[in-house]
Structure 1
């Protein structure tokens, strides 16, 4: 196993375009996903359409992704909760649609944050890992109504010393998943049920087992939407994940659409390096295309966000956009790096031929966050960065409306 590197391999990618204009650019790059979604009504008894979103706190908080999940599942049918980080990897961990719990006895690893100190175990799509420190350490998921499942996937690091786990569905023993292997390598195991289940508990049979992710699906058509976000992270932190782990998980979880949703934390960095950001963006798009086998990708532009921190007034070249008061004297402003992030995202999407959604534009353009916070029924929190439940629903509605229009033009 190795950490993610700049991948220079050639692969069959969508045809590149020279420009990326409009609210949703390059919708034709999503044609395979649109076709799969259209066919799901006739796909009963088969795995759901799977959307896999990777990002920062906007993804981790699940305000937008959770509302988008609800919209799609109401329209096309439920496909389960999808992929989750193992256990409860941090305080305040949000699991809309399921309740996650775990016992003491686990060591947490992460791509970013207090659990990211080296040496880190190999990490995958979720950005987190849990290593059993004692026999009997357990973790569980309890599904909310409508989130029942008939397939569990558990991904861990196998090896000569790797242990196994016992599995219970609704308190009933389902046997053991073993991760022993001649050499260290990522392994994803699956258990299926002939009936819908509402809970799963796994119990470590011994120490020396590192779990990188798990998932619950209902294989009866419909849609599953996985939100894998690390609070405070940037795309450069996702680059710390291990190629072999990510490849094994993508093979097991089989997404039909990968959504990349970074940019806010890059835009709020004290010093933004546009060259480094563009290099990471291009390399991670190339990497995910290679490891996933060219699954369609949607790049979300950074949403409109504002700050009052003086240190961010000049975190990148460019004019300051003041949103409270007059110009340079404004106390509430958009850090200049955010505009630079969006411009790079748009240009790279055009160059590499992937879909890009202009989140800021669909909020109303520059300074929209002020209106979303200060309206009578706020759609954002008072930090001018994060969305509340009502705002998440509004963003999800606008995103899906644009995707529906894109699907019509991509036919």
Structure 2
């Protein structure tokens, strides 16, 4: 057999073997179908502040699934909601409408980041609600405010107070006794402290008047002595026995907004979770600002304390306003943020069952780009991610980003005279906070007016301008 014939037979056998393998043996690897993960499938960690990345995600994260919704979504005045939320809002309106006559007190919690710090937006929401439904007082506050960051009430403190915040990783409370406000004013064992509450000249009209003072104190192992004075006259001399549960102590006064000095003393640690300054009936709106956070970090607080405070405060609604601290994180999508929000929304539903939740979307923000002030181009993606996850949980969503004008609006707000935003092109001025509150109130009043005009239909109610609230 010559060499050419041998080569021909050799290649013929190889070809036959290959054909047999392809025909009879399954071979799943198909290079044409191989895919590399796109950027949209990558998970990017969240950040607790503008400067420090602090991911708190599980080891394995599944992207948030698209909502399988049968409910109808309605959008009016930049407010999107389901018919389920509409029914919750109707019940809330009924409770608010009769609160003063029934002698009941209803609270609205306004949780947020630094955009609401210093009562910046909450003050005007509070004034609108109290003007319409009755009630007064600045609501929940800490008893230790050395920087006087809350302009709606004046707090002067003396003694060995120490502040603990839920977002402070360097100074953590082992027992997680942060309560509903995410902060605690603490006195360590065998130390005394005092604080004085006074009406603030910078408060809105209704916020400056309160008649009821309530203290919420975490579990403690020894007796707490509490004394109170008005103009050097002792009017309070109480003693709280040891307790393994949340303790509330309250006082009512005939006069409006008394300046009261409290003194606390105990041989054990004392954690004052909050002080509520309210009217005897009506609506209260609380400012709970957690600066530098992209969520309220509810997983870090003691669940039982949070639930107990929620039950005693009779919460009618929660306004959830975070997102400012997502601004520096540029990503092709924000599924990772939806995962974080979902974790918090699950806890809200657990801690405050059946409470309607309004999620307020991110505001426009800008930065210096090659010498030119430009809005961040990715903010609409954060806004859309917030909206999607809010509606999935049957919460309402208020689109603040588009209500204020969308991309570039923060530049106009900053350059306007008087300015509606600060020169960081992120945070509102007090006037800007008032305008943002007006947008939100107009949207809510549009819904509330439907309940007072039963003949109108859900989709044909005429617009209600802000001036009529």
Task: Please report the TM-score for the alignment, with normalisation by the length of structure 2.
Answer: 0.72
- Write the distance in 1 (CA, Å) between the matches of 2:117 and 2:300: 18
Which of the numbers 339, 342, 345 marks the counterpart of 2:380?
A: 339
| Residues 61/275 of structure 1: CA separation in 2 closer, same or farther (3 Å cut) | same
Which of the numbers 156, 160, 180 marks the counterpart of 1:101?
A: 156
- Write the distance in 2 (CA, Å) between the matches of 1:158 and 1:5: 30
- Answer whether contact 1:304 1:360 (CA < 8 A) is retained: yes
Aligned to 2:95: 36
- Write the distance in 1 (CA, Å) between the matches of 2:140 and 2:173: 25
| Residues 392/227 of structure 1: CA separation in 2 closer, same or farther (3 Å cut) | same
**Shift of the alpha carbon at 1:273?**
8.3
**Shift of the alpha carbon at 1:357?**
0.5
Name the structure, 1 or 2, with higher relative contact order (CA <8 Å, separation 6+). 1
Deviates more, 1:248-257 or 1:107-116: 107-116
Which of the numbers 253, 266, 281 marks the counterpart of 1:220?
A: 281
**Shift of the alpha carbon at 1:32?**
2.0
Aligned residues: 374
| Residues 138/345 of structure 1: CA separation in 2 closer, same or farther (3 Å cut) | same
2:258 pairs with 1:198: yes
Query: Which protein is bigger by CA-based radius of gyration?
Result: 2
| Residues 262/363 of structure 1: CA separation in 2 closer, same or farther (3 Å cut) | same
| Residues 177/356 of structure 1: CA separation in 2 closer, same or farther (3 Å cut) | farther
**Shift of the alpha carbon at 1:117?**
4.3
**Shift of the alpha carbon at 1:195?**
4.5
Which of the numbers 368, 371, 376 marks the counterpart of 2:412?
A: 371
| Residues 340/236 of structure 1: CA separation in 2 closer, same or farther (3 Å cut) | farther
Aligned to 1:357: 398
- Answer whether contact 1:20 1:346 (CA < 8 A) is retained: no
| Residues 242/121 of structure 1: CA separation in 2 closer, same or farther (3 Å cut) | closer
2:83 pairs with 1:83: no
- Write the distance in 2 (CA, Å) between the matches of 1:95 and 1:132: 21
- Answer whether contact 2:419 2:432 (CA < 8 A) is retained: yes
**Shift of the alpha carbon at 1:80?**
1.6
- Write the distance in 2 (CA, Å) between the matches of 1:154 and 1:272: 46
**Shift of the alpha carbon at 1:298?**
0.9
Aligned to 1:112: 167
Aligned to 2:221: 160
- Write the distance in 2 (CA, Å) between the matches of 1:21 and 1:355: 10
Which of the numbers 131, 146, 150 marks the counterpart of 1:74?
A: 131
| Residues 115/151 of structure 1: CA separation in 2 closer, same or farther (3 Å cut) | farther
Tell me the alpha carbon deviations over residues 60-97 of structure 1, each in whole angstroms, 9 at most, x when there is no partner. 22121112222333333332221112311x63x42232
Aligned to 2:105: 48
**Shift of the alpha carbon at 1:235?**
0.5
- Write the distance in 2 (CA, Å) between the matches of 1:152 and 1:250: 17
Q: Extract unaligned runs of 5+ from structure 1.
A: 7-14, 311-328
Structural mapping, 1:324-335, within 5 Å: 331-335=372-376
2:244 pairs with 1:189: no
Tell me the alpha carbon deviations over residues 12-52 of structure 1, each in whole angstroms, 9 at most, x when there is no partner. xxx97475745101161422222223334xx2461333211
Deviates more, 1:105-114 or 1:139-148: 139-148
**Shift of the alpha carbon at 1:142?**
0.6
Tell me the alpha carbon deviations over residues 290-324 of structure 1, each in whole angstroms, 9 at most, x when there is no partner. 2223111111111112223x7xxxxxxxxxxxxxx
Q: Extract unaligned runs of 5+ from structure 2.
A: 1-55, 59-68, 455-469
- Write the distance in 1 (CA, Å) between the matches of 2:339 and 2:239: 40
